């Protein structure tokens, strides 16, 4: 049935006219109210958005027709609440609606006056401040109300009308006296359901408005019964036991020029959007223009938020569309920037009907890419110009940023410039960049050496670093769990490949020792001749069997007798341990390589005993003890604790005999 056809005949022009909704509205309203919106609070956001749109429409029209706003130039949205009567009123002094507009806009689902207005603007005017483009937000009121009245008077018109419906399939329109209608604009009266009377509570209204609509371009005030309090009330008292409170001042911080905003204002807003009490370490505020327009006000904290390592890895940057809050759990930034807090406000981002979820579209990806690149660029500038502040950010969020090395191949090279490490150069006292490392590489050194481990202290005490330390070769300490993964994805830095000190053969032979150790090296070469490397290698291989994949003399040991390393083409030892734990295995998937130090007195003595005539059976315990010692030095427990204890007791007993 057409919206202009009356279902009740009448000859009285002032009597209500009853109309059927178009598009089988009874069923459609039911589906929309119960399916489109998952959160009932959204209805107030929608009504406030509609009111803001009406004010913006009139603001545009008044440019060419200033008489429309001459008597009342200040726009505002006024909320009134009465819990006893279960009433909530949303009023504005915007463009208002004529009878025909009421029938057209409120009588047809998915027809939007705002959409029509934007279409009428053409290419020469700006409609970017308008929000409602789908025409269904108004009907969300029926989630909380069993009857809705809309009293409206179009700007410049001499008549006012009342639209009324219970949302069950029909609506009525009747004229109202001008003294019972606003001077211009619209008043939406919600008769709340019994189980939704809480939406007439001032505290509830204030919370919703501050969460969703605090930055619409029109001031919002709340008129509610005055609460009995002692002393002076902060609100402006009015007659009749009510008070008026301003909930929003019609401005948004991110829309103002940076030069007009003080550090204190930025800090206050940061606290509002982040819920933290620290000062932001980095503030990024700009407006992107061009193919897509959006405003960005993003902060990087100086203190890690409590949910930094939440398994969901959700971001907390709030999305606004034309200053109306949409969501705070959309992936506007990659997961490795989830510690960022702030606001992104888009002028042209497509939304679905409820605005609760974004459509998959290139606009969102463009915003995501643009803001991510800008944050990385700002971090690069900060690292160069303010190392102290950058190091604060890195100390809190370095492990998270390193997730980007694993996940974000597009920005991997830029992130490698940002990554900071503790290293053996100064016993882990300061942060080192890869550029610092490459600039300090030794003669004939062609690789960037690193060591992974459970902690910086465990890495520093590892026997694998002994040969590197003796030659003054810097080793990077990679102590975060993510390090074992991203390092496998990165080819190198400035043409220098990464090499684990626990993997493959140590490329140290071509690197000269520090001058102070030259004499010691000569002495060590003499002691090498006392060890039969081939005999020791064969004995350990035969005795240990499949516990090891290989046995060889070590160039990386200078103090310890033995250590375990990963095979040349296997995973790093730390990654191997992580993989084994994930699979619930007691040991890794690849047997390690046992390296022994031919200069160590214990190995030299073993070589001497092996070369002597007689049984070698009593030396088998020595082979297993050396392997268990290597496990312990690698941060693991012996695979057979009882056998380890028995062998150790036996060797001690023979030593005391």
Q: Which residues are annotated as a binding site?
A: 46, 50, 92, 97, 105, 112-113, 133-138, 186, 355
The set of residues, in sequence order, having a beta carbon less than 8 Å from that of 613 and lying 6+ positions away, is: none
Q: What is the CA radius of gyration of the chain?
A: 37
Instruction: Give residues with Cβ within 8 angstroms of 156, minimum separation 6.
Output: 65, 67, 68, 184
Max CA pair span of the chain: 129
Residue ranges of the annotated binding site for ATP are 46, 50, 92, 97, 105, 112-113, 133-138, 186, 355
Measuring CA to CA, which residue among 378, 408, 360, 361 is closest to residue 298? 378
Q: How far is CA 76 from the centre of its chain?
A: 35
DSSP run (H or E) holding 648:
helix 641-656
Q: Does residue 565 contact residue 593 with C-beta atoms inside 8 Å? A: yes
- CA separation for the pair 543, 184 (Å, rounded): 97
Cα separation, 602 vs 121, whole angstroms: 89
Provide the CB-side half-sphere exposure for 637 (13 A, CA).
7
C-alpha–C-alpha distance, residues 302 and 299, integer Å = 9
Specify the DSSP class assigned to residue 197: G
Q: Which three-class secondary structure state does DSSP give residue 564?
A: strand
Token pair of 189 as six digits: 């009266």
* Cα angle, residue 106 at apex, residues 101 and 112 outer, rounded to 5°: 75
Q: Which of 632, 506, 652 is nearest to 560 (CA)?
A: 632
C-alpha 198/C-alpha 221 separation (Å) is: 19
The SS3 of residue 40 is: coil
Report the DSSP pairing between strands 220-225 and 77-82: parallel
């Amino acid at each position: 049935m057409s919206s202009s056809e009356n279902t009740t005949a009448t000859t009285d022009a002032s009597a209500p006219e009853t109309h059927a909704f178009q598009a089988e509205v009874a069923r459609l309203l039911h589906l929309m109210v119960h399916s489109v919106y998952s959160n009932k609070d959204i209805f107030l956001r929608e009504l406030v958005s509609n009111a803001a749109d009406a004010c913006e429409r009139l603001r545009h029209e008044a440019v060419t027709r200033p008489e429309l706003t001459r008597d009342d130039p200040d726009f505002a949205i006024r909320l009134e609440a009465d819990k006893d009567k279960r009433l909530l009123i949303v009023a504005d002094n915007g463009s208002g609606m004529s009878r025909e507009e009421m029938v057209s806009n409120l009588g047809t689902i998915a027809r939007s006056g705002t959409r029509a207005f934007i279409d009428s603007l053409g290419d020469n005017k700006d409609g970017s401040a308008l929000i409602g483009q789908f025409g269904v937000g108004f009907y969300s009121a029926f989630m909380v109300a069993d009857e809705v009245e809309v009293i409206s008077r179009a700007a410049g018109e001499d008549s006012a009308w009342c639209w009324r419906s219970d949302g069950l399939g029909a609506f009525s329109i009747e004229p109202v006296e001008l003294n019972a209608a606003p001077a211009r604009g619209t008043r939406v009266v919600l008769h709340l359901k019994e189980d939704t009377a809480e939406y007439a509570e001032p505290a509830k209204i204030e919370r919703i408005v501050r969460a969703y609509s605090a930055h619409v371009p029109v001031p919002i005030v709340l008129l509610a019964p005055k609460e009995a309090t002692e002393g002076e009330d902060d609100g402006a008292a009015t007659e009749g036991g009510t008070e008026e409170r301003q909930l929003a001042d019609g401005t948004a911080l991110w829309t103002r020029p940076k030069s007009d905003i003080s550090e204190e204002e930025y800090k206050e807003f940061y606290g509002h959007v982040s819920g933290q009490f620290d000062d932001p370490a980095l503030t990024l505020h700009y407006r992107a223009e061009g193919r897509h327009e959006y405003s960005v006000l993003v902060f990087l904290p100086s203190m890690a938020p409590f949910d930094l390592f939440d398994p969901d890895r959700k971001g907390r940057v709030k999305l606004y569309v034309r200053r109306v809050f949409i969501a705070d759990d959309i992936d506007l930034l990659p997961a490795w920037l989830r510690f960022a807090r702030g606001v992104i406000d888009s002028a042209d981002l497509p939304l679905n009907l409820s605005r609760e979820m974004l459509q998959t579209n290139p606009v969102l990806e463009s915003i995501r890419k643009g803001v991510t690149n800008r944050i990385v660029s700002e971090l690069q500038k900060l690292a160069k110009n303010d190392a102290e502040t950058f190091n604060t950010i890195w100390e809190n969020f370095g492990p998270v940023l390193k997730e980007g090395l694993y996940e974000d191949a597009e920005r991997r090279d830029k992130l490698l410039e940002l990554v900071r490490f503790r290293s053996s150069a100064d016993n882990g006292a300061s942060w080192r960049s890869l550029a610092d490392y490459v600039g300090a590489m030794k003669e004939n050194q062609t690789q960037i050496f690193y060591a992974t481990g459970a902690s910086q202290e465990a890495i520093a005490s590892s026997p694998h670093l002994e040969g590197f330390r003796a030659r003054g070769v810097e080793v990077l300490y990679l102590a975060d769990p993510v390090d074992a993964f991203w390092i496998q994805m990165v080819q190198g830095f400035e043409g220098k490949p990464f090499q684990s000190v626990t993997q493959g053969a140590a490329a140290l032979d071509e690197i000269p020792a520090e001058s102070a150790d030259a004499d010691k090296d000569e002495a060590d070469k003499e002691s090498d001749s006392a060890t039969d490397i081939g005999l020791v290698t064969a004995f350990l291989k035969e005795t240990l069997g499949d516990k090891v994949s290989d046995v060889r003399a070590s160039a990386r040991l200078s103090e310890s007798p033995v250590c375990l390393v990963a095979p040349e083409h296997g995973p790093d030892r730390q990654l191997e341990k992580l993989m084994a734990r994930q699979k619930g295995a007691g040991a890794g998937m690849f047997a390690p390589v046992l390296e022994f130090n031919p200069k160590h007195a214990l190995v030299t003595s073993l070589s001497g005993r092996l070369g002597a005539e007689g049984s070698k059976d009593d030396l088998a315990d020595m082979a297993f003890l050396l392997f268990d010692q290597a496990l312990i030095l690698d941060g693991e427990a012996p695979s057979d604790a009882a056998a380890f204890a028995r062998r150790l007791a036996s060797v001690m007993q023979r030593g005391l005999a």
